Structure 1
Amino acid sequence: MASDHCDSCSRSLRDFAERLRRVWGEFEYKLKEVFRGIVQCTCFGNAPERGTAQALSSLQLMYDDKIPVFNQRSLQALNRLAASQNADLQMTAAIYYSHISHHLNYPLPDAFLVPVMALLLSPDLDVQKTTSFTLVNLLVKNNVCKESVIEMGMLVPLLELFQSGDPTAQCHSSACVAMLASSELSRHAILVDGIIPLLALAKSYDPAVQQKAAWALLHLTQSDCSRRIICQAGAIPVLVLLLQCSNSEVQFYSCTALCNIAAIREHHPELLSIGAHLSKSLLTLMSSSVQKNSAQACRCLQSLSKNVWVQEQLMDCSCVLSLKALLKSLNAAWIESALTLMCTLSAHPPNCDILINEGLLREIGQLLHHPRSNSVLISLSCKIITDLCGACTDEQAVTESQCLSGLLRVLLSPSLSDETLLHVTLCLHHLMTWDGLRTKLSSSVTPEQVWRLVELSGQMRNSQLSYNSAAIIHMFKLTEDFLPLLRPHYSAVSKYLLLFLKTRDVKFQQLGISTIVKLKNDGDFSTVMTNGELEARLWNIHAQTEEMRQLLQMFQPPFPSSGQLFH
């Protein structure tokens, strides 16, 4: 059965199940003797305890088989023990259910949930703790249906265990509630009765209880309706408080819950009403050595940073250092989180000088040279470079950053989509408007990169990509370093120039004519062009243009009346 949980939650569940197996191993070898000893005791030899003795005998036989047997006899035995007023007998049934949860590899029949409900209602706290622990294991392994657990009314005793004051009972019951909250159908029932007790548990001094409560709150932020309800119940201040917990899992759950809340703009006023405390806590978490927490804090800040006031706080608190640390991560998703936040910050011009002075361009240049870069990371990097270079005039910073060589490098990647290539060529074209960068590029470009630009100029599947690539070629300085790289491709160049001249888009025609004018002084290009279709097309455009000029000279438009001027 497919899991409803993220990778982190799945790891936590596997760890929990492993601990359960270790706990079970410590007393499993004793259980058989316990059953036999109780059954053989003379206190069960007389009525009315005879039925209970038979029930115990049935359970002993079931246990001897190792594999749980679900038939009417075993169900009657468990029902009889669970309904007993004797806490020891109830504990016997609770322990057997623990045995079931350990060995069961298929769904537990719904009828066998009825004794579990009775055991949860036991007045004995140890019975309740054992049963709730068993229920967690059954839920983790998908041996019971979450909706069936809710329909049978088990949520009420589980929530009552929140008030027990026993950390173990609270931990087990909140883990059950967290598992139930992962189901959309069960979530509403928990929101009605469980949100206030959960918020109280989240402020517990016991780390394990806090962790399970934060886990449950996270699941309750997975839909718009439940987010609204828990925010109205006062969850946001509690979640912000949990960001400062020393337990990294609690930090992750609370930060992820805040991410889910921050994804909806209507909750931003309440989040921002906390003041600088939230942004400072997230910034602190962004510097965490636990990188999944750093990345999650970054995502949350990115959602909030659409507010200029939040951006100012981030820049004042030197957020760039933490962002640069995330860029060195080996996890592409975490790098993407950092770049996404940087995109938001770089789009606000007052931030750009600070970002450049902090060496952000150098980090982006290094990232473009790294083999782990993918289409998303490259597109985000191009946007940041364009924003930063558009807001400053420091060519030296760009030159030293290796952004130019990085962009040319990724241009050769065979796996990039047209959309990503569009970002790369647009960024390169923007940088080449600076004379110093154009000179550097003209002397450092490689034969493979020149051919790639020619190749992209001639493709017709994406006209804007074709235009960007041809515009870059046009902007190169025709130096002794560059011309020998372009000359072998003059035939391909003439073909895309011919396509440009044939299009009805004036922008393409102008770029084509401008490129021809620039290259015509090179003898090799003139040879390719002479007496060819390109030259014929150029003369045809010249004739059409001259004819249009003459017609316009013959036309004398009347001056508009005063009424037309102010219409």
Structure 2
Amino acid sequence: MGQLCGRCMQVLRDFVAFIQRISSNLVHGIKECFTLISKSSCLKQNSSKAKQLYKPILQPHERVTAQEFLQHIESGFEMSPLGKDSLEALRTLAFSENPGLQQSAALYYLHMSQHMNIPLPVEHLEPFYALLRSADLEVQQMSSLSLVNFLLEENIDKELVVQMGLLEPILDLLESDDPTVQCNSCACTMTLAVSESNREAIGAARGITPLLSLANSYDPRVQQNAVGAILNLTRSEKIQQVLCKEGALPVLALLLESSDAEVQYYSCAALSNLAANIQHHKAMLRPGNRFLLRTLISLLSSSVDKVSSQACVCLRNLATSADIRAEMVAADVLPQLCSLLAAGSEEVRRAAIALLWILSQHPHNQDTLACAELLQSLGVLLLAHKADPVIVGHAACIIRSLSLSKNRQTIIESPCIEGLLQTMLCTDTQEDSLHYVTSCLAELAKQEGVTLHMVQWMDEPLTKCLVRLAGQLEHTELSFQVASIIQHMIGHEKMMHLLKSHVAEIEGYLQHFLTHQEIRFQQLGISTFCRLREDPEFSLAFRKSQMAKLLDQVRQQTEETQELLRAAVCHEDS
């Protein structure tokens, strides 16, 4: 066997120190144990057969292996921790009927799991089967904990653990009476369940029922890990069916009221995954019993960010019907959501505005939502986070939806217009959020009162930005919406003054519009040209350019089209 590297030698030295730290009498105790067992009458040929019924026999090869293992401990393990010799010794100790020897193997694995950060060879998984199956409680505790450590540090392939047959003993330990063993086995199951194939294996091995039972454990560690395992299992649509059949919904709903924030979060996230599948909504929102809905709404006020955020996500997934959206708004969620929009957590802000967006899609909610409090919150949010595409995109969609209500004046009096305009300076043309902003502003600009308010916020940087976006060719819809915004603001003196610094750029996009195949672009180009031509400076600039020639071409094409249409109509009449 080759020389050990420095790191492995250090791991071995740490293990020796670890053993010595546990008890200065440990090695002496092991020696004494071996001495007593070797002198025991049960090893003699004429020993009483009855004694063999009450204590396991130490086989000769086990005694030799244990003595060699002890010598290695005393000498500082002059052997590779993952080598063939150590593996054979661990196999012998792990599969022994003597709990003391099994404890030695379990202790060895536990120490390795706490100090090694290299992959554990697949061969070393085999002894775990015997250790997890051990009747000794300490062996169960140490072996299950070491397996958790290896899994969390990713020193073991999670799918390989199942393939090696370790899932069955892990799930059996869920039914242990010892909280430590329950906690460790739940943690193992939770970690294994990040794999889709493992989730199906856990469901097939009937691991869901004991997990649901442990989700009600009085031990907070056990409960957390059990609910965490259930959360990971809900990421599989196939296992969701099994969970609901086994009664997971009422268990998770009740856990939302837990005093443990971690349990609240796990159960809420699990319900969010279930709610993402609309076929579960009927069971989750039973008529006449809105316990789940009421509890989720109450969690919006949680002081724990990830809990309130996850409550938003779950409510958003449930809000697929107009009735549920109306019920949420009627439950007075608005003050809570406004508060969440001002939260310090990005995750909370994003989750809250996404829920608001869903609620604003229902026409009957729009008058209620178009209040000063919400619009003030949205405007402030836009100004503070104008570079956040999630915030910007959702806010623009909400404002556009609310602009269809009778309360446009409330939008004008809020910081929303300023916020939307400012986001254009910070958003890349590749972002979908910019398209939502320009679409919203173009809709608002159709109202004269809103247009006047928009002009008040215009300055040179914003004007330059608008002209640039109108002239870009890659995103035609974006170009059209921005050009429409400019066209609506042209009649105001301040806007005309700002546009005069960009005559060449404006001519450029107008020429492109006039030659565009879509009639709406040609019409917008002509309309903008006519309004600008009323200004002497623009009129002079247009006479010096190709604009007149292009307009004549459009006129000729229009006349030809009209003649063709008249001929077609006459043919139909005849």
Over 3 Å counting, the alpha-carbon distance change for 1:120 and 1:535 in structure 2 is: same
Q: Deviations over 1:442-463 (max 9, x none)?
A: 2331122112212222222122
Distance across 2 between alignment mates of 1:132 and 1:554: 87
Partner of 1:60: 70
1:150 equivalenced with 2:162 (yes/no): yes
1:75 equivalent in alignment to 2:93:
no
Q: Is the 8 A contact 1:375 1:416 kept in 2?
A: no
Q: How does 1:296-375 map to 2 (within 5 A)?
A: 296-357=310-371, 359-371=373-385, 373-375=387-389
For 1:481, what is the secondary structure of its paired residue? helix
Structure 2 counterparts to residues 452-463 of structure 1, below 5 A = 452-463=465-476
Distance 1:277 1:520 in 2: 64
Q: Distance in 2 between matches of 1:164 and 1:554?
A: 90
Distance 1:172 1:189 in 2: 19
Summarize the Cα distance change of 1:66–1:105 in structure 2 as closer, same or farther, 3 Å threshold. farther
Q: Note if 1:30 corresponds to 2:48.
A: no
Q: Which residue of 2 aligns with 1:295?
A: 309
1:379-418 pair list within 5 angstroms: 379-395=393-409, 397-413=410-426, 415-417=428-430
Quote the residue 2:10 is aligned against. Answer: none
CA contact (8 A) 2:224 2:262 kept: yes
For residue 333 of structure 2, what is the amino acid of its counterpart? Answer: C
2:455 to 442, 446, 470: 442
Query: In the alignment, does 2:181 pair up with 1:166?
Result: no
CA shift at 1:278, angstroms? Answer: 1.1
Mean CA deviation greater in 489-498 or 537-546:
537-546
Deviation at 1:531, TM superposition (A): 4.5
Partner of 1:159: helix, strand, or coil? helix
Query: Equivalences for 1:223-242 in 2 at 5 Å?
Result: 223-242=236-255
Q: 1:133 aligned to 2:138?
A: no
- Aligned residues of 1:352 and 1:392 also touching (Cα < 8 A): no
Alignment of 1:404-553 (within 5 A): 404-413=417-426, 415-417=428-430, 419-545=432-558
SS at the partner of 2:384?
A: coil
1:520, CA displacement in angstroms?
A: 1.9
Task: Tell me: CA distance 1:356–1:79, structure 2 relative to 1, closer, same or farther (3 Å).
Answer: same
Q: What whole-Å deviation, never above 9, does each CA across 1:189-247 have from its counterpart, x for those lacking one?
A: 21122111111111212211111111111111122212222222221211112111111
Change (3 A) 1:153 1:416: same
The equivalent residue for 2:101 is: 89
TM-score by length of 2: 0.86
Supply the AA of the counterpart residue of 2:446. Answer: T
Aligned with 2:231 (options 204, 218, 227): 218
1:326-374 alpha-carbon deviations (Å, 9 max, x no partner): 2223443432222211111101111112212262111111111114632
Cα distance, 1:270 vs. partner?
1.9
Give the TM-score taking structure 1 as reference length.
0.87
SS at match of 1:369: helix
Aligned equivalent of 1:188: 200
Q: Aligned pair in 2 of structure 1 residues 353, 26: CA closer, same or farther (>3 Å)?
A: farther
Q: Deviation per CA, 1:37-89: give whole Å up to 9, x if none.
A: 32255314448456444333333344423986234443343333334443333
Q: Deviations over 1:444-495 (max 9, x none)?
A: 3112211221222222212222211111111115333222111122222222
Aligned counterparts of 1:78 and 1:147: Cα–Cα separation in 2: 23
1:67/1:103 contact within 8 Å kept: no
Q: Summarize the Cα distance change of 1:327–1:66 in structure 2 as closer, same or farther, 3 Å threshold.
A: farther
Unaligned runs of 5+ in 1: 1-23, 562-567
Q: Structure 2: how far apart are the matches of 1:386 and 1:463? A: 20
What amino acid sits opposite 1:360 in the alignment? L
Distance 2:139 2:31 in 1: 20
What is the Cα deviation at residue 523 of structure 1? 0.7
Tell me, in whole angstroms, the C-alpha distance in 2 between the residues paired with 1:177 and 1:72: 29
* Cα distance change of structure 1 residues 123 and 324 upon mapping to structure 2, 3 Å threshold: same
The answer as to whether partners of 2:387 and 2:426 remain within 8 angstroms in 1 is no
Structure 1 distance, partners of 2:17, 2:292, is 44
- Residue 439 of structure 1 and its aligned partner are, at CA, apart by 1.5
Amino acid at match of 1:180: L
Distance change in 2, residues 1:201/1:27 (3 Å)? farther
* SS of aligned partner of 2:320: coil
Give the C-alpha shift of residue 167 in structure 1. 1.6
* Contact 1:68–1:103 (CA under 8 A) maintained in structure 2: no
The question of whether the paired residues in 2 share the 8 Å contact of 1:327 and 1:363 is answered with: yes
Shift in Å at residue 432 of structure 1? 1.4
Decide whether the 8 Å contact of 2:93 with 2:102 is kept in 1: yes
Give the unaligned 5+ runs of structure 2. 1-15, 44-57
The structural deviation recorded for 1:157 is 3.0
- Structure 1 residue 556, shift from structure 2 partner: 7.3
Distance of 1:208 and 1:551 partners within structure 2: 81
Structure 1, residues 14-40: CA drift from partner, whole Å, max 9, x if none?
Answer: xxxxxxxxxx99876125741343225
What is the CA-CA distance between 1:511 and the residue it aligns to? 1.4
Summarize the Cα distance change of 1:372–1:53 in structure 2 as closer, same or farther, 3 Å threshold.
Answer: farther
Structure 1 pair 247/67, CA: closer, same or farther in 2 (3 Å)? farther
Within the candidate set 30, 36, 42, 1:43 is matched to: 36
- The structure-2 alpha-carbon separation of the partners of 1:500 and 1:185, relative to structure 1 and needing over 3 Å to count, comes to closer
Shift of 1:425: 1.4
Aligned residues: 539
In the alignment, which residue of structure 2 is the partner of 1:20?
none
Return the alpha-carbon distance in structure 2 between the equivalents of residues 60 and 32 of structure 1.
14
Partner-residue secondary structure (3-state), 2:446: coil
- Greater CA deviation, 56-65 or 285-294? 56-65
Amino acid at match of 2:492: T
CA offsets 1:298-330 (integer angstroms, 9 cap, x no match): 111111101223223311222122222322234
Distance 1:296 1:137 in 2: 28
- RMSD after superposition: 2.8
Which residue number corresponds to residue 6 of structure 1?
A: none
Secondary structure of 2:493's aligned partner: coil
Q: Distance in 1 between matches of 2:23 and 2:150?
A: 20
Q: Paired residue for 1:564? A: none
Identity of aligned residues (%): 37
Q: Structure 1 stretch 143-152 or stretch 358-367: which is displaced more? A: 143-152
How far apart in 2 are the matches of 1:68 and 1:321? 64
Cα distance in 1 for residues equivalent to 2:144 and 2:126: 14
Q: Residue type of the partner of 1:188?
A: E
User: Residue in 2 aligned with 1:114?
Assistant: 126
Is the contact made by 1:44 and 1:52 (CA closer than 8 Å) also made in structure 2? no
Which AA in structure 1 matches 2:225?
A: K
- Measure how far apart 1:388 and its partner are: 0.6
